[in-house]
Structure 1
Amino acid sequence: MRCPRPSVEKDIRVTPDLILPYDGVQPDFASRPVWCGRGSTVIGAARIGAQAWIGDDAVIRADGQSVTLGERFWLGHRSTVHIATLVRGTQVGDRVTVGRNSVVHACTVGSDVVIEDDVVILDGAEIGDGAVIEAGSTVFPRAQLPGGYAYAGSPARPKQKVNADDVAERAERLRERMGDGPTPPAGDPPEVEPSVFVARTATVRGRVSLGAGSTVLFCCDLNAEAGPIVIGADTNIQDNTVIRTRGEGVVIGRDTTIAHNVRIADSRIGARSLIGIGAAIAPGTLIADDVMLAAGATTDPGQILEAGYLWGGRPARILAPLDAEKRATMIRIVEGYCRHGREYRAAQEALS
């Protein structure tokens, strides 16, 4: 069933701000969520268990594979649950708590798991029952993290043993800290050409230029009130990415992917590049054309990332040359998001 419209007081939000089908499939809620925050978005073949709590600007996106979330799932403000299109879905057990600005991506998470703030869990990872992923950690692709431990770092490694009481206490503390997020100032919808998609739950303010075929996805926040933001043709800005300028502005070249929950300050990012999930781009960074920046990586202010390499780490360093397989993957992602943009624009307009 689709999530029912609220029949209680207006200040109690029990329906996501935006629900969209994907490929004809609507999200399926086992029962009305306990809470749905401002800008919350649920897409496609998502099955959400009873007593869910979905925070402000939280995104659950099942477009191409399924997302299954167990009972009492808690998704914090500006966090994202997504899949690897045509490759792998996401499955999460019961009583899982996710903090703020975290990404749960194409992986399997057991029951009674705590995922703290600013965590990235990548494709094919498996998290056992009763685990804790501490704030700021990155779980690398295909990692297997048994339950009963707290994990930290990038890559996430065992830090200490935890028992059921420890996990429950951490979950409770995380939920108590969540509170209610601030309401961002509303921006006027940007004027865009028909090939551009801007999600209804995205916020776009100031001098923002969007190239033909570009996409700005759900719950992104683009603030160009202090300096311009220029986004090239066919470039995709994925869920919960925040771009904020302080003067010089941000320029992103064409055919580039900015993944989920990226943070970008005044900088230049070249064409045909990929900025990985949860990365942070410091002011003054210059990223050349044909660069892949790994998930969870950061740059130093003023850092220059040379063309033709995979960069990663905190701060980023060269890990390997970009091979033909990585370049082909980057092209496929851009093509896929151009297609997504057309599909989402049609589905969003059908709600009007």
Structure 2
Amino acid sequence: MSTSALKARPGVTIVPIHGKTPDIHDSAFIAPGCTIIGDVTIGADSSIWYNCVLRADVSRIVIGERTNVQDGSVLHCDPERPGDPDGSPLLIGDDVLIGHMAMVHGCRIENRGFVGLGAIAMNKAVIASDAMLAAGAMLTEGKVMGERELWGGRPARKMRDLDDAAIMGMRAGVMHYAQNAKDHAEAIAAL
């Protein structure tokens, strides 16, 4: 376990449960108001923004490096069940953008995936590399998005392929949030 999970993080609630304590990389930014529970791993230079809840009390949540989870988002997972011995852990890769107020539950988001604000991704769904789930969309259970695809609607369906400009915009967003997290960490430390 990283020492970061045990050190003081002003205004952050970290809850060990069922013998699992969140493992948060020292370089990750966790904003005040967040609650992080159980078997959660957060990678280097990732950021969890104000008032997010990450609850891994029945399975695990893994977040890669330089990924950001924006304000008010809720992340959860599902346990194993009869006929489903693996359950639905929430697995999030590197350089992922998750917009404000998203609900991400027991799915997989590959490297550089994007979840728009207010979107929902459900158990066993997959958001592929460089793919975008549009704002307000709902990716239903087990749906698989291809690389560089934009899906939208409720339920979400493929709308089109993403061009290079859209991909570069998402990558710029990753860099922006990595720097912004450092700025917020410094501002909070100065309080």
Q: TM-score, normalised by structure 1?
A: 0.46
Q: Which residue is 1:281 aligned to?
A: 121
Q: Which residue is 2:3 aligned to?
A: none
Q: Which residue is 2:190 aligned to?
A: 350
Q: Which residue is 1:113 aligned to?
A: none
Separation (CA, whole Å) in 1 of partners of 2:22 and 2:186: 17
What are the superposed Cα offsets for residues 133-175 of structure 1, whole Å, 9 maximum, x if unpaired?
xxxxxxxxxxxxxxxxxxxxxxxxxxxxxxxxxxxxxxxxxxx
Q: How has the CA–CA distance of structure 1 residues 186 and 235 changed in structure 2, closer, same or farther, with 3 Å as cutoff? A: closer
What are the superposed Cα offsets for residues 51-75 of structure 1, whole Å, 9 maximum, x if unpaired?
xxxxxxxxxxxxxxxxxxxxxxxxx
CA contact (8 A) 1:266 1:284 kept: yes
CA contact (8 A) 2:120 2:137 kept: yes
CA contact (8 A) 2:36 2:53 kept: yes
Separation (CA, whole Å) in 1 of partners of 2:14 and 2:28: 20
Code of the aligned partner of 2:133: L
What are the superposed Cα offsets for residues 209-254 of structure 1, whole Å, 9 maximum, x if unpaired?
1111100000000000111100010000000000011223100110
Code of the aligned partner of 2:129: D
What are the superposed Cα offsets for residues 86-117 of structure 1, whole Å, 9 maximum, x if unpaired?
xxxxxxxxxxxxxxxxxxxxxxxxxxxxxxxx
Q: Which residue is 1:210 aligned to?
A: 42
Structure with larger Rg: 1
Instruction: Please say if 1:296 is aligned against 2:136.
Output: yes
Q: Which residue is 1:221 aligned to?
A: 53
1:323 Cα deviation from its structure 2 partner: 0.4
Instruction: Please say if 1:234 is aligned against 2:81.
Output: no
Instruction: Please say if 1:262 is aligned against 2:115.
Output: no
Q: Which residue is 1:245 aligned to?
A: 77
Report the 3-state secondary structure (helix = DSSP H, G, I; strand = E; otherwise coil) of the residue aligned with 2:117: coil
What are the superposed Cα offsets for residues 185-225 of structure 1, whole Å, 9 maximum, x if unpaired?
86269553332101121110001111111000000000001
CA RMSD of aligned residues (A): 2.0
Out of 7, 15, 18, which is 1:187 matched to? 15
Q: 1:145-160 to 2 correspondence within 5 Å? A: none
Q: Which residue is 1:339 aligned to?
A: 179
Structure showing greater relative contact order (alpha-carbon pairs closer than 8 Å, 6 or more residues apart): 2
Unaligned runs of 5+ in 1: 1-16, 19-38, 40-184
Separation (CA, whole Å) in 2 of partners of 1:193 and 1:307: 28
Code of the aligned partner of 1:187: V
Q: How has the CA–CA distance of structure 1 residues 267 and 331 changed in structure 2, closer, same or farther, with 3 Å as cutoff? A: same
Separation (CA, whole Å) in 1 of partners of 2:23 and 2:116: 28
Report the 3-state secondary structure (helix = DSSP H, G, I; strand = E; otherwise coil) of the residue aligned with 1:336: helix
Percent sequence identity over matched residues?
A: 35
Instruction: Please say if 1:272 is aligned against 2:104.
Output: no
Unaligned runs of 5+ in 2: 1-9, 80-87
Instruction: Please say if 1:328 is aligned against 2:168.
Output: yes
Code of the aligned partner of 2:76: R
Q: Which residue is 2:148 aligned to?
A: 308
Report the 3-state secondary structure (helix = DSSP H, G, I; strand = E; otherwise coil) of the residue aligned with 1:304: coil
1:349 Cα deviation from its structure 2 partner: 2.1
Q: How has the CA–CA distance of structure 1 residues 252 and 186 changed in structure 2, closer, same or farther, with 3 Å as cutoff? A: closer
CA contact (8 A) 2:37 2:57 kept: yes
CA contact (8 A) 1:195 1:342 kept: no
Separation (CA, whole Å) in 2 of partners of 1:336 and 1:230: 22
Separation (CA, whole Å) in 1 of partners of 2:26 and 2:184: 12
What are the superposed Cα offsets for residues 324-344 of structure 1, whole Å, 9 maximum, x if unpaired?
110111011100000011111
Aligned length: 170
Q: Which residue is 1:59 aligned to?
A: none
